């Protein structure tokens, strides 16, 4: 059995111990000491990290009463000086105690139990056995922070089962060993094997980030302590930047951003409508001027500068009409886009052979069916010439 210093010396960061044994396999060393401050993980809380004689500890776990330290290298000598990564441990304790407090407030004020949780240094959630609205979550967050201001003592107890069943609202663990209870003032009395700060004030801050629905309840994403402060500071930094950019007051920020979003949506709709009108007008003009083979109008157009979106709109306007075949090419960005096709009812035209030649001519790739083929290529140099050849091929098809 390893002596578990982490339960007795909650504020201690370094310790001395004796190496009982170590073994190395697969480039990793597993070391067992006579005593340790390294928490092996449990109760939802991740294990401690740190160093033993300066060698990084990458994982810690418990196996048959012994604490196993997984190391990046092996230890020399029997005497070991250990140091846990204190800022990390402290934040994990803040997260863990904050979780107990928030869970206890949801039980006390809303009758909701925590039925699942995840606890990491920079991410945490609890699952509640019922739905919570935004306002209720805000109330719970405020109440939980009040518990921090009260700076309540956090005590570790090993009471008998009778007292546990009387005071705890949670299921009692099935074990014949003494059950470890974390008591937070009058607020909470919960079986837990994890590590927490000694007073609620040390948690500093509890901040709910967002709510999700999960199964038949709510998942509350939140942070406590320094992780919460980091998150709030990052968010405030972004908000401050927006305030400067938009030149508005704090109270107007959300309203302003939402208004701009609405305006943007309206502008996009207007732009789409204008592009549609433009395409229809252009299509009508092109059809008037297009040469005809029998009843089929053959439209050929090379656009010096355009976008794929514009070309597709124009193509749709042209080919939605019966008796139309179109060969469109346009310079877009760093190459050319080709769009060949005809009205779906037009059975005499198959644009694929002409398209294959044309797309090869611009060094591009693409494909499609008999009524519509498209592709992009980098070489727009001979675009005019290529389109003329394509139209000639379609003309031959129609005359055959
Ligand atoms: Zn716990």
102 alpha carbon – ligand 1 mean position (Å): 12
pLDDT at 165: 87
Q: What phi and psi values does residue 8 have, to the nearest 5 degrees? A: -90, -35
What burial class does residue 195 get, using C-beta atoms within 10 Å of its C-beta: 0-12 exposed, 13-18 middle, 19+ buried? buried
Rounded to the nearest angstrom, the distance between the alpha carbon of 133 and the centre of ligand 1 is 25
pTM of the full predicted structure?
0.79
Distance 43 CA to ligand 1 centre (A): 5
C-alpha 30 to ligand 1 mean position (Å): 27
Cβ–Cβ under 8 Å, residues 102 and 199: no
Distance 206 CA to ligand 1 centre (A): 16
pLDDT tens, position by position, 113-143 = 999 999 999 999 999 999 999 999 999 999 9
Helix (H/G/I), strand (E/B), else coil: 41:
coil
Indicate the pairing of strand 324-332 with strand 296-303. Answer: parallel
pLDDT at 229: 98
Count CB neighbours of 347 within 10 A: 9
Q: Pull the structure tokens for residue 185.
A: 């003032």
CA atoms within 13 A of residue 187's CA, in its CB half-sphere: 29
Alpha helices in the chain (DSSP H): 5-8, 86-110, 134-149, 161-167, 225-246, 253-289, 308-319, 352-361, 383-399
pLDDT (0 to 100) of residue 89: 97
Task: Tell me, in angstroms, the distance from the centre of ligand 1 to residue 217's CA.
Answer: 20
Q: Tell me how far the alpha carbon of residue 92 lies from the centroid of ligand 1, in angstroms.
A: 11
Say if CB 303 and CB 330 are below 8 A apart: yes
Answer yes or no: are the C-beta atoms of 326 and 341 closer than 8 Å.
Answer: yes
Q: How much distance in Å is there from the Cα of 316 to the middle of ligand 1?
A: 63
Per-residue model confidence (pLDDT) at position 161: 87
From the CA of 137, how far away is ligand 1's center (Å)?
21
The string of pLDDT tens digits covering residues 217-244 is 999 999 999 999 999 999 999 999 999 9
Dihedral angle of Cα 344, 347, 348, 352, to the nearest 10 degrees: 60
The half-sphere exposure of 117 on its side-chain side, counting CA atoms within 13 A, is: 22
Report CA(134)–ligand 1 centroid distance (Å): 25
Residue 29 Cα to ligand 1 middle (Å): 30
pLDDT of residue 400: 83
Cβ neighbors of 279 (< 8 A, separation 6 or more) are: 310, 313, 314, 316, 317
* E strand segments, 292-334: 292-293, 296-303, 324-332
For the chain, list residues with pLDDT below 50.
Answer: none
Distance 103 CA to ligand 1 centre (A): 10
Q: Taking the mean position of all CA atoms in its chain, how far away is CA 290?
A: 53
Q: How far is the CA of 128 from the centre of ligand 1 (A)?
A: 15
Bridge-based pairing of strands 114-119 and 124-128 is antiparallel
Name the strands in the sheet holding 188-191, side by side, starting at the edge strand that comes first in the sequence. Answer: 154-157, 181-184, 188-191
- Report CA(223)–ligand 1 centroid distance (Å): 15
Q: Cα of 186 to ligand 1 centre, how many Å?
A: 17
For residue 188, report the distance from its CA to the centre of ligand 1, in Å.
11
Q: How far is the CA of 382 from the centre of ligand 1 (A)?
A: 72
For the chain, list the domains and their CATH numbers: 3-84 (2.40.30.130), 90-243 (3.30.980.10), 271-399 (3.10.310.40)
CA of 106 to the centre of ligand 1 (A): 15
CA of 323 to the centre of ligand 1 (A): 75
**What is the CA(189)–ligand 1 centre distance, in A?**
10
**Residue 172 token pair:** 């009692």
Kindly report the number of other CB atoms within 10 A of residue 275's CB atom: 15
**For residue 284, how far is its CA from the centre of ligand 1 (angstroms)?**
73
Q: Are 58 and 72 in contact, with CB atoms under 8 Å apart? A: yes
């Amino acid at each position: 059995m390893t002596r578990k210093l982490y339960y007795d010396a909650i504020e201690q960061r370094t310790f001395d111990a004796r190496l009982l044994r170590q073994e190395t396999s697969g480039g990793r060393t597993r070391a067992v000491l006579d005593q340790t401050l390294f928490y092996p993980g449990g109760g939802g809380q991740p294990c401690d990290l740190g160093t033993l004689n300066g060698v990084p500890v990458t994982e810690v776990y418990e196996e048959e009463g012994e604490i196993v330290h997984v190391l990046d290298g092996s230890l020399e000598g029997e005497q070991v000086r250990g140091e846990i990564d204190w800022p990390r441990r402290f934040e994990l304790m803040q997260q863990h105690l904050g979780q107990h407090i928030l869970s206890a407030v949801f039980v006390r004020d809303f009758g909701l139990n925590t039925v699942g949780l995840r606890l990491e240094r920079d991410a945490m959630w609890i699952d509640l056995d019922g739905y919570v609205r935004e306002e209720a979550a805000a109330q719970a967050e405020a109440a939980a922070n009040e518990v921090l201001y009260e700076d309540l003592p956090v005590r570790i107890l090993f009471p008998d089962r009778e007292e546990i069943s009387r005071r705890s609202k949670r299921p009692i663990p099935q074990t014949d060993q003494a059950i470890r209870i974390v008591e937070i003032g009058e607020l909470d009395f919960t079986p837990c094997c994890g590590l927490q700060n000694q007073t609620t004030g040390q948690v500093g801050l509890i901040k709910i980030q967002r709510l999700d629905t999960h199964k038949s309840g709510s998942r509350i994403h939140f942070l406590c302590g320094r992780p919460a402060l980091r998150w709030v500071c990052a968010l405030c930094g972004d908000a401050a930047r927006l305030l400067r950019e938009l030149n508005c007051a704090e109270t107007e920020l959300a309203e302003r951003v939402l208004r701009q979003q609405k305006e943007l949506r309206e502008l996009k709709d207007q732009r789409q409508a204008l592009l549609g009108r433009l395409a229809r007008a252009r299509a009508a003009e092109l059809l008037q001027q297009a040469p005809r083979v029998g009843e089929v109008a053959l439209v050929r157009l090379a656009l010096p500068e355009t976008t794929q979106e514009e070309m597709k709109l124009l193509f749709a306007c042209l080919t939605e009409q019966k008796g139309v075949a179109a060969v469109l090419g346009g310079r877009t960005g760093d190459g050319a886009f080709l769009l060949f096709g005809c009205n779906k009812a037009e059975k005499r035209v198959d644009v694929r052979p002409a398209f294959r030649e044309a797309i090869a001519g611009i060094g591009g790739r693409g494909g499609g069916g008999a009524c519509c083929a498209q592709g992009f290529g980098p070489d727009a140099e001979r675009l005019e010439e290529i389109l003329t050849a394509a139209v000639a091929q379609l003309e031959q098809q129609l005359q055959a």
